[in-house]
Structure formats: C-alpha cells, structure tokens
A and B are shown apart, each in its own frame.
Chain A
Amino acid sequence: MRCTEINPNLGAFVLGGLEPEEEVEVYQHLASCSRCRGELGELDGVIRALEAAPGPAEPPSYLKEEILSRVRAGERAEKAPSSTEELSYFGKEPHSTRGSRLKNLRFILPGVAAAAIVAVVALGIFFGSREEPPVATVQLIPLEENDPYWGVAELHPKPSGNQQVELKLNNLEEPGSDSFYEAWFTSGEKYISAGTFTTAGSGETDVWLNAPPETRSYPTLLITKQTATGDPAPSQEEILRGKVL
C-alpha cells in the first residue's frame, strides 16, 4: 500500500482503534517505509502527551454563581467597616479598660482553646471514621451525546485492598421491570462486576459498591443495563463509560 493510503490510518493506529486486519496492513507498510515510521513517532509523542491530559469533565453549573456571590459578599465587606477597623477598637479604649480586658482574655483564652481542641478532635473522629480520601475520580459519560444522564464515580481504597466505588448518577431513568444496572471494571476482553443497583429515575442517585483488589488494574468503568435472565457478563446495552485516570 502507498503512504497516502496508510497515512489516514496512522492516527487510529497509535490510538489502537483499527481492526486487526487494518493493523496488519499498517505494520507491513511501516516495515518498509521510514517516512511513515517518522510520522508515527511524532504521533506517538502526542499520545504520550495525552497521558497527562485531564479527562473531558466540566465543573458543576452552580460553581460560577457561588464564586460570583462570594465576590459580591467580599465587595460588600470592603464597603462596610473592615475587621481591622473593628480590632482597632481596642486601641481606642482607655488604658485601664484595655488592661482589664486583656486580663480577662488571659482567663478566657485557655478555655476557648481547650474547647476548640475538643471540637477539632471530635470532628476528626467523626469525619475520620466515616470518610477516606478517594484516589481516583472517573467521569462517566453516556454513549449517546444527547442522553440526559451522566455521572461520576469515586474510587476509595480500603486497607483490605478492596475498592469502594461511590457512584453519583444524574437523571438515570428507572431500569424497568426485570432489569437492573450493573457496574463493571473492564480491561480489554476481561471484566469484573462491581455490583448491581437500580435508580429512582430523575435527580441524583448515590450508590455505594464494593469491588475486589484486582479491579485496581482495570482501566475502564462501565455501567450497563442488564436483564434478570441475562448472562453474567456486560450486556450490549452500555449506559455510561469512563476511564480510570
């Protein structure tokens, strides 16, 4: 085959998106064409750069308004008497009053500090026992661009090696009778189920699943719709998919 026929396939070749027989054609051409090998090397560099790329995620729509409202509040605070001015009130006090207030503070501060420590420890125990930091966030994207549902998965490592998977799914419709959703970790032809679940329809659904340690090396997270009588394998009805980055 000539370079002009092979060239359009090079992009798909480095991305691994060609059919096996097309890959063979590219390999055969590359063996005898240094120009296309050079071209392939440059495209391969782009793929390596893409490894550093963030996935196509968008911030939540409310975030911008939250920032702007904080700016508005900040501006109002600037126009109002500032905290520095309020603190300078001490400086305007007669010396004796200031001294007695400082004396009072010496008694009050240790109590406040002790109360603060107790509160921090209590909060730490409360949150620390409930929440571990997620190591990965997976953006789950629908198969069809116009589908109204989407989601995010957070993968929490557990000391046992298992991964706890939190699915936050939006607008995923009820699966229907004799059907349910199933989450899968996949790697090529291999797959491991992370568990099944259902949803209540519109709005946000929060689901917690547990996956075995082996799933840590599986790069893709799939959500499929399964039927109760179907095979114990991912069905063709793919709903959401995301790459574990």
Chain B
Amino acid sequence: MPQRPEEQSDEQLMDLLTGPKVEAALSALYDRHGSTVFRVGLKLLGDRSLAEELVQEVFLKVWRSSSTFDPSRSSFSTWLYRVTRNAALDLHRKRARKIRSMTDEDPQIETIRDSSLGPQETVEDSWLTWRVSKALEGLGAEHRQVIELAYFRGLSQREISRRTGLPLSTVKSRTYSALKRLREGLAGQQGLREAGRSGR
C-alpha cells in the first residue's frame, strides 16, 4: 500500500513534485517547514508582509526547482535553508532599493537605511537562526512551551507555574531539561552546520 504524503520523507516528497501528486507533496512540505521559513524570514527581514512574501517565493522555488535538489549532496533541510537565504537576500535588496529611492527624496530617511542589516550580516545571521529554529521545533511540546514562556515572553518561573497550573518545581526542572535538550539538538546539527557553510 503506498504511503500517504505526510508519512513520506522530505526527499521522497521532492520526487513527487514532478508528478501528479505535486499538490499533496508540496502541501506536506509546507506543513513541515512553512513555519520555520516564516519565522526565519520574520527574524531576518523584520517585517510580516515581507516574511509572507518570502514563504511564497521559497515554496514556489521548491516546486519549480525540485530537479536541482540532489539528496546525495545535502539534506533537504540544508537545501531549503539555502533557498530561503537567497530569497531573503533578494527581498532584502528589493527593500534596500525602495529605501534608497525614498532617501533621494528625503535625506532624513538615511538613518533608517543605516539601521537595517546589510546583506552580509543577513547571511551570517540566517544560518544560526535556521539551526536554532529547527532545534526548537525538535523539542517536545512541553519543553517548547516553557522556553517560549520563559525566553520569548519573559515570564518568571512562578508566573509560568500560575499560567500552566504546573507545580513550581516541575516548571523549574522542565526549564532545565528543555535547555539541555536544546543544547543537544544544536550539537546534533554539527554535520548540518558544515553542510550549510560549504553552501555559502
């Protein structure tokens, strides 16, 4: 019995993009990686509408350029990272051009251009951003929840305990093990890191 798309590996789904199951395959890839591409885009580009544009560009590129993906050279995640990075750079340049044209009309806007990331900084930040994002997604829901509440929302352990209804001691031990697992997840991407560097 053939596997359903959501049960297939990323690499198997890439094979399906040239056949009649293209929609189901792209849909499954989006479900797995769409949030990462969006979050990384939001982080790098700092703008929600640009991040949405990035997600569209990336998944259309995945569809159109599926034949350029070679699983013997890199994992799908590393390939997708490169597609995302290049698309983000294109959008970044597009935005920079728009700001430049505005600067010509109003020199005061120069300060805005100076405060935004340059293309090189965008590239350097993007790989770490991608890796951390993937490592966070690799955590279980319970561990991800305490990291989100403690780090991204800045809640104290007591506030997390009140909010989740968990005993304070459980929140503390869960926070500790969440950070340890995140460290393991990041260390486990050593090979991925090398692949990402060689792709620059």
A68 at the interface (CB under 8 A from B): yes
A175 at the interface (CB under 8 A from B): no
- B30 CB → nearest A CB, Å: 5
**The one of A19, A64, A135, A242 that contacts B46, using a Cβ cutoff of 8 Å:** A135
Residues of B within 8 A of A124 (CB): 101
- With A45-B183, A49-B132, A66-B56 as given contacts, are A57 and B38 in contact (CB-CB < 8 Å)? yes
What range describes how many residues of A lie at the interface? 35 or more
Residues of B within 8 A of A57 (CB): 35, 38-39, 42, 48
Q: A-B pairs with CB below 8 Å: how many?
A: 175
Which of B43, B136, B155 counts the most A-chain CB atoms under 10 A from its CB?
B43
What range describes how many residues of B lie at the interface? 35 or more
Segment touching B, from A10-18, A88-96, A108-116, A191-199:
A10-18
Segment touching A, from B2-10, B72-80, B146-154:
B146-154
A105 at the interface (CB under 8 A from B): no
Residues of A within 8 A of B112 (CB): 132-133, 135, 157
Residues of A within 8 A of B99 (CB): 133
Complexed CA–CA distance, A70 and B62 (Å): 13
B128 at the interface (CB under 8 A from A): yes
- Contact assessment for B179 and A43 in the assembled complex, using a CB-CB cutoff below 8 Å: yes
- Contact assessment for B175 and A12 in the assembled complex, using a CB-CB cutoff below 8 Å: yes
Residues of B within 8 A of A68 (CB): 23, 26-27
B166 at the interface (CB under 8 A from A): no
B22 at the interface (CB under 8 A from A): yes
- With A67-B60, A134-B46 as given contacts, are A17 and B155 in contact (CB-CB < 8 Å)? yes
- B105 CB → nearest A CB, Å: 6
**The one of B22, B51, B150, B163 that contacts A75, using a Cβ cutoff of 8 Å:** B22
B106 at the interface (CB under 8 A from A): yes
Residues of A within 8 A of B156 (CB): 17-19
Complexed CA–CA distance, A160 and B178 (Å): 43
Complexed CA–CA distance, A88 and B23 (Å): 31
| Interface SS majority for chain A | mixed
Complexed CA–CA distance, A134 and B35 (Å): 21
Complexed CA–CA distance, A77 and B24 (Å): 19
Residues of A within 8 A of B154 (CB): 219-220, 241, 243
- Contact assessment for A133 and B47 in the assembled complex, using a CB-CB cutoff below 8 Å: yes
| Residues 49-64 of chain B, each 1 if its beta carbon lies under 8 Å from chain A, else 0 | 0011001100110011
Residues of B within 8 A of A219 (CB): 154
Residue in B closest to A49 when the chains form the complex, CB atoms: B132
B87 at the interface (CB under 8 A from A): no
Residues of B within 8 A of A71 (CB): 22-23, 26, 60, 63
Residues of B within 8 A of A14 (CB): 179
- With A54-B129, A57-B38, A75-B22 as given contacts, are A63 and B55 in contact (CB-CB < 8 Å)? yes
Q: Shortest 8 CB-CB distances between A and B: which pairs?
A: A54-B39, A11-B176, A159-B108, A54-B43, A11-B175, A59-B38, A52-B128, A53-B132
12 contacts between A and B (CB under 8 A): A12-B176, A46-B179, A50-B182, A53-B43, A54-B39, A54-B43, A57-B42, A68-B23, A74-B60, A128-B105, A135-B112, A220-B154
Q: Which residues of A contact B (CB under 8 A)?
A: 7-12, 14-15, 17-19, 42-43, 45-47, 49-50, 52-60, 63-64, 66-68, 70-72, 74-75, 124, 128, 132-137, 139, 141, 143-144, 152, 154, 157, 159, 219-220, 241-243, 245
